[in-house]
């Protein structure tokens, strides 16, 4: 059985390096046999948050918001790919995430981080953990990181150097952790409706 996994990425920069990690993850999930889709905040192009999806009358949300809400509701699990901006989270990914709330509930999420430096986005990953938990997701303890990203992944998302080897080695545990929670959450939702 394959599961529906959304890989969410949020950089709006012109020379985006994190897309390498997003592409790597999409490729790895496909090799694993999962139904995976990249949700690129820049490509989706949501405006800065004015109204959450739930604040629109039924059927009146902008098309991009409506389509994305459906994809989030249909997903079994999520991977948030985050860069680190000044010890914090990327505004593009945070903006995309904040447009929704109930759509995220009762499903697991995993965090993959990156940066140009050796800390590989660890501080952003830590910040995302609390945010995603508050938004109703179970956040896995396994994370993966790439840094310096230019020395870890090629432009087409292929592992390079020692960092790339370490990243490729870490993915199976990362995947197993998320999929264990995906299966547990899906089974529980089928057995007993969520309380809210």
Domain boundaries of the chain, sorted by first residue: 4-191
Helix, strand, coil percentages, rounded to 5, for the chain? 45, 20, 35
What average pLDDT is seen over the chain?
96
Position 101 pLDDT exceeds 90: yes
| Chosen CATH of 4-191 out of 3.40.50.360, 3.20.20.70, 3.30.230.10, 1.20.120.340 | 3.40.50.360
Give alpha helix (H) positions in the chain.
Answer: 19-31, 41-44, 63-74, 91-98, 122-134, 161-191
Instruction: State how beta strands 4-9 and 77-83 pair.
Output: parallel
Q: How many residues does the chain have?
A: 196
Q: Which of 165, 14, 158, 140 is nearest to 78 (CA)?
A: 140
- According to the model, what pLDDT value does residue 36 have? 98
User: Which residues partner with 109 through β-bridges?
Assistant: 78, 139
DSSP 136: T
Q: How far apart are CA 73 and CA 68, in angstroms?
A: 9
Section 132-161 average pLDDT: 96
Contact 166, 174 (CB under 8 A): no
Section 169-180 average pLDDT: 98
Q: What is the pLDDT of residues 34-92, one digit of tens each?
A: 999 999 999 999 999 999 999 999 999 999 999 999 999 999 999 999 998 888 899 99
DSSP 192: S
Q: What is the pLDDT of residues 103-138, one digit of tens each?
A: 999 999 999 999 988 889 999 999 999 999 999 999
């Amino acid at each position: 059985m394959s599961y529906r996994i959304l890989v969410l990425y949020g950089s709006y920069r012109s020379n985006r390096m994190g897309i390498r990690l997003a592409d790597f993850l999409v490729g790895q999930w496909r090799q694993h046999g999962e139904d995976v889709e990249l949700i690129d905040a820049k490509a989706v192009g949501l405006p800065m948050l004015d109204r959450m999806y739930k604040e629109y009358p039924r059927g009146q949300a902008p098309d991009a918001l409506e389509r994305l809400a459906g994809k989030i509701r249909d997903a079994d699990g999520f991977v948030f790919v985050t860069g680190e901006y000044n010890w914090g989270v990327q505004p593009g990914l945070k903006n995309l995430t904040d447009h929704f709330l109930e759509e995220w509930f009762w499903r697991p999420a995993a965090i993959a981080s990156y940066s140009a430096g050796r800390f590989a986005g660890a501080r952003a990953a830590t910040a995302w953990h609390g945010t995603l938990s508050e938004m109703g997701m179970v956040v896995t303890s396994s994370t993966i990181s790439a840094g310096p990203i230019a020395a870890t992944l090629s432009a087409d998302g292929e592992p390079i150097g020692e960092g790339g080897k370490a990243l490729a080695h870490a993915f199976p545990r990362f995947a197993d952790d998320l999929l264990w929670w995906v299966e547990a959450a899906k089974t529980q939702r089928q057995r007993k409706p969520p309380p809210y």
